[in-house]
Chains A and B, each alone.
Chain A
């Protein structure tokens, strides 16, 4: 019986059996704190041992290149906590970049273009959210569909052109840094958004509802959470931030092309999962996600500096991703097995615990 329980690999069953037992171990070493500590260790080691890591130019590169992932990771964390996922973020960013380029070519002022692009992101998120919440479709399938659709529309809008001649002060904002420091200008809006997301997720009823929905959608609905509306608003937020990222991408790299930010969704998902956000929903912290984002970003930067090839970097990303999901689960299974053995040897088995373990 225990074997089949493990073999099914299903999502709802195990967390509930494991939670009470692994509580003590889980409290001492949580996955997100581990990732945070790893990030610190990596930064300290890089500052002391890697040449050129600590200079301002490299640090601003690191942050600038990681910012698109860091931006989208914020709403993505909230979305994954509520048990959904959005794979169309890269395409949404690409689409808003493409529209930005096309409108600029058509002679519109950039002050009207940017709001239009952001509105477009809201619409993209709305389409995803409505398909998921109103039709009850799995978000994975829906957003794979819109991943192709949005990218396709971007291709229709801009074709193979690339637009580069945006106004200089905007380009400066996208790629410049605050005078005398290594911090890019664009990091300031990101920090504000991080603060907003952290407060929403960890200090408001909305955030508690997100965790509740992710842990058990039905229970959340019965306790009065408006699940559909909540999820819809998360998809809209993800679409909005994705288009913001698309605009930033265009300004940062000074190029609007239809294939901007291709594959960004995988980096975002990898970073968020590495940060300990459980893919089944209902678990994780924003701090963990941010640590995951910058751990991956810093690792890639360091590996480039010490001449590790781009290909090996891909392998490292993959291995980290697998470990990040495998590690906590193996630890939990070990602690469950340990606790079970202890209760068996200590006294008569607790009658309540046994059926709970198999439902």
Chain B
């Protein structure tokens, strides 16, 4: 890294600054859209951003934020995990079943996280050791985990009435407009973001996603990092499962099915590219918040809820298209600038 930076020192500061600005712009853009949307809705319907309204917005986003942050870690390494919806479903039921039997709520959450991590490890081992495409493997485990879940759950379901009241309260209450669940999600978010940004192993996730071959040659323990990303993703899906239980109190064998597409949408809208090696989890959290907010905004401004899915899809397409156009612009500018400095030095 340092040796290559030496000869092009002239070019580095401007290009670095520009890239930085663009990456920051990506998150700012989502934030702007989000704020704009919420402000417009507030003007239209003044009851929208009441204390309860804000609390609902945050509560709705919490679970998606957690799963999407885990998914982002996997996507940053240029892989994908489609089994998160199934993992969320099975861990939510596992936690519920444990609580129904009179278990300790804290232990139930730990159990859900551990179970999620185990499924993540299974995915990670298949992808990293088995060397098979992540999409196919996790599509397979999506089926397998959902099937195991259905066999185990059968026609049973967990309802809020069998859960300890403290657990259910935790899922609903908060410090005025700030739900406990959102606080928990924010803590996880900041921790993951700090890890990815400041730790050597965190940076290696990005290196791995940018170019697996180069990362391998540079001494990054590729398999170990991919495995770690999958375990983290599974564990967060497990945590989200436990929180899902606390929030909704109602879990059956269909819980979380089809969720993977929402999660992937949030990740991509949040600016983590499928090609790996770029994006931040803050962007992903904003993306998740944006997606879930749309679901609350549309009904409150009188748009029928049938529009929600189409708008979600179009938003996703718009996000990746804008990203792509932006990236092409940036490489164009960088190339021109590099050419200029080169000719200046030669001249």
A-side residues, CB < 8 A to B, are 3-11, 13-14, 85, 131, 135-138, 140-142, 144-153, 155-156, 159, 263, 266, 269-270, 273, 279-280, 309-322, 325-326, 329-330, 333
Hey, which chain B residues are within 8 Å of A7, CB to CB?
128, 131, 216, 221-223, 226
User: Across the two chains, which residue of chain B brings its CB closest to A159?
Assistant: B306
| Interface SS, A side | helix
Cβ A137 vs Cβ B324 within 8 A: yes
Cβ B324 vs Cβ A135 within 8 A: yes
Cβ A155 vs Cβ B310 within 8 A: yes
Q: A329 and B141 in contact (CB under 8 A), knowing A135-B325, A279-B135?
A: no
User: Would you give the shortest CB distance from B83 to chain A, in whole angstroms?
Assistant: 9
Bound form: Cα–Cα A112–B145 in Å: 44
Hey, which chain A residues are within 8 Å of B311, CB to CB?
152
Taking A140-B274, A145-B313, A314-B147 as known contacts, 15 extra A-B pairs with beta carbons closer than 8 A to each other, sorted by chain A number, are A3-B223, A5-B216, A135-B321, A140-B135, A141-B268, A147-B313, A149-B313, A311-B150, A312-B151, A315-B151, A318-B144, A321-B139, A321-B140, A321-B143, A333-B131
- Does chain A have a CB within 8 A of B7? no
Please provide the 7 A-B residue pairs with the shortest distance between their CB atoms, ordered closest to farther.
A152-B310, A318-B143, A149-B313, A148-B313, A315-B147, A152-B309, A4-B216
Cβ B313 vs Cβ A150 within 8 A: yes
Hey, which chain B residues are within 8 Å of A317, CB to CB?
143, 147
User: Across the two chains, which residue of chain B brings its CB closest to A4?
Assistant: B216
Chain B contact residue count (CB 8 A cutoff): 58
Hey, which chain B residues are within 8 Å of A155, CB to CB?
306, 309-310
Hey, which chain B residues are within 8 Å of A14, CB to CB?
131
Q: A156 and B310 in contact (CB under 8 A), knowing A148-B261, A315-B151, A326-B130?
A: yes
Can you list 27 contacts pairing A with B, beta carbon distance less than 8 Å? A4-B217, A5-B216, A7-B221, A7-B222, A7-B226, A8-B213, A9-B127, A10-B212, A135-B321, A140-B80, A141-B274, A144-B265, A144-B316, A145-B320, A148-B309, A148-B310, A151-B313, A156-B307, A266-B142, A314-B143, A315-B144, A317-B147, A318-B141, A319-B144, A325-B133, A325-B136, A329-B130
Cβ B226 vs Cβ A9 within 8 A: yes
Cβ A145 vs Cβ B265 within 8 A: yes
Most interface-central of B126, B130, B309 (chain A CB within 10 A): B309
